[in-house]
Structure formats: structure tokens, C-alpha cells
Amino acid sequence: MKRAGARRGASPRRRIVGKLAIFGVGLIGGSFALALKRRKAAGYVVGVGRNRANLLAARRLGVIDEIATDPAMAVKDADLVLLAVPLGQTAAVLAQIAPHLAAHTVITDAGSTKRDVIAAARRHLGAAFARFVPAHPIAGNEKSGARAALADLYQGCDVIVAPEPETDAHALRLVTAAWKLCGMRVITMNGAEHDRVFALVSHMPHLLSFALVGNIAGYRDAAALFRHTGGGFRDLTRIAGSSPEMWRDVCLANRDTLLAALDGYLDELELLRGMVEASDGQGLEARFAAARAARAKWLIKNLEPQRTQRTPRKAKSI
């Protein structure tokens, strides 16, 4: 795993992207556009999406400069194409744009899984696959849509870049430079390792959050139960406010790795259940103490830089 530090403060000497086409102008795609516009690193941004009202809002807020209804026109002469659509749409978008990509166009994505996206790109892009750079920005919140976009969403966060052996060096440099200008630290990882890591630390936590809310909602007195929730419950379930479509696609795309992660978690729950059933207070305390120590040793230190992910606010026009 390789890490490169984000460059902060310095303005780019020149525009690195003349035309940027974004498929999916929501929190992730919109924030990418705003960050590059703020640094004057992108000249013209075209947005594509299924929701006309969202695209109109994106244009009104200055997130994009033009709405495209035709994918072919959206990518015509584009320097960079970002796919920020739900994973289930990625293959179809790649198939639509492949015949219309210019010889210089670089393509990247922001998907939460990588093996399936890489396979789809290899299948549909043909010779342009060398100019496809798989990526995953580790930033965001439970909000969605262009109104949730933030120019500083990515500041101080990590982005995973997962190039393949045939990935073009220029394409990799362009995508890496773009994310650095957004304020991100770049980490290189292969697709399989990425999917294993994020099944454990991202995909499974989202499933658990949805499951916790779903379990409480199933009780007859659910309304009364939810009235008594406190900060702990809200912390654990914040991400259950995320897009159901997005997380459905993530779970299916990373199915095998996620199942292995869930099996490990179920084993841990079964161990704790046995201790509760046996009134094993000493065992519970020891298990809790070990988890607390692990959190203090690894998690707190790694989460400190991520606290720059601020409370969402309305995006401002550029």
C-alpha cells in the first residue's frame, strides 16, 4: 500500500482538465466538481443524471455548467470523465460512452467496490481500458444530491486508486493530480485488497446500521422505542440514512467478501451472546476492554484527519 501526501495551499499553475464530464451529480460527483472549480483546475463541467430537478439544481448552484441528456455528447472531447453513479449503473454507462470517447479522454470512477467495476470497464471500454483509472474517495456522509455537494468534502481524506498493470501512466497522473487538488491523500491498492478492506470497515458497518434500525422498527411499540433513543443510538445509525439503492448495489457487487466479513461478525456476536447467557461478567469486561484498547490504538489516531468532513451545508455557486 502506497501513500502520497495531499498538496495544500498551492494553486495549480495551469488548468489540468479542460472539459470534465460527471455522470451522477450528487454528493460525490458534485463535490469533485466544486473542489476542482475552486482551484480553477477544471474549465467546463458537464453533468449527466437521471433526475432532471437535481441537474437543474446543480447548474443553478454552479456545480456544473451544462446539463447533457445524451451521454455521447457529454463525453465528446472530454479530458476527464468521472462515473459517480450507483454501482448497478456503472456497466451500462461504460457501454454507452465507450464508442464516443476521444483518444485522449481519461475515465475514472468513485465506486465503493473495485473488482466488479474493473471487470466492467475491461469488458466495455476496449482499447480505452488503458485510460480507465479505478478510484474510491473515502469521504462523504448520509446526504445525497447536488445540494449536498461541498467544495471541501475531500479535504484531508484518503482516496484509493487501484490501477491495473496496463493502466496508462498519463491517465494515472491526471486522476491522481485531480484528487490531490481536491485535498486528498492518495493510496494505491489493488482491487481485490480494496474490496476485502472495505467489506470489513465500510460495507459491513452500513449493513449493521440498517439492521439495527430495521430491528427496532419491527417492534409493535417502535414509535415509543425511537422516542427514547439517545446519542449512542444516533451515532450507530446515522449511516442508515444513506441511499438504499447505493448500498444495495455495494452489497451485491462485493457479495463474497462481504459474506466472509459478516460471518466473522456473527461469530463475535455469538461469543458475546454466550457470555451474556452465562452471566460471564469477567469475560464480557475483558472483551470490551480489548475492543476499547484496539479502538484507542488504531481507530482514534486514524479518524482524527477525517474530522475535516464537516456538517453538510448547502453548496455555494462558484
Distance CA 89, CA 140 (A): 20
Q: What angle do CA 169, 171, 176 make, to 5 degrees?
A: 95
Nearest CA to 166 out of 224, 125, 111, 225 is that of 125
- Report in angstroms the alpha-carbon separations of 271 from 198, 211, 260: 24, 19, 17
CATH of the domain at 266: 3.40.50.720
Distance CA 23, CA 83 (A): 5
pLDDT of residue 50 exceeding 80: yes
Mean pLDDT score across all residues of the chain: 91
- Our count of domains for the chain comes to 1
pLDDT of residue 302 exceeding 70: no
Nearest CA to 299 out of 190, 184, 200 is that of 200
Cell triple for 156:
484531508
Range of the domain at 297: 1-318
pLDDT of residue 71 exceeding 60: yes
Instruction: Encode pLDDT of 197-208 as tens digits.
Output: 999 999 999 999
Q: What angle do CA 317, 40, 17 make, to 5 degrees?
A: 115
Instruction: Encode pLDDT of 173-194 as tens digits.
Output: 999 999 999 999 999 999 999 9
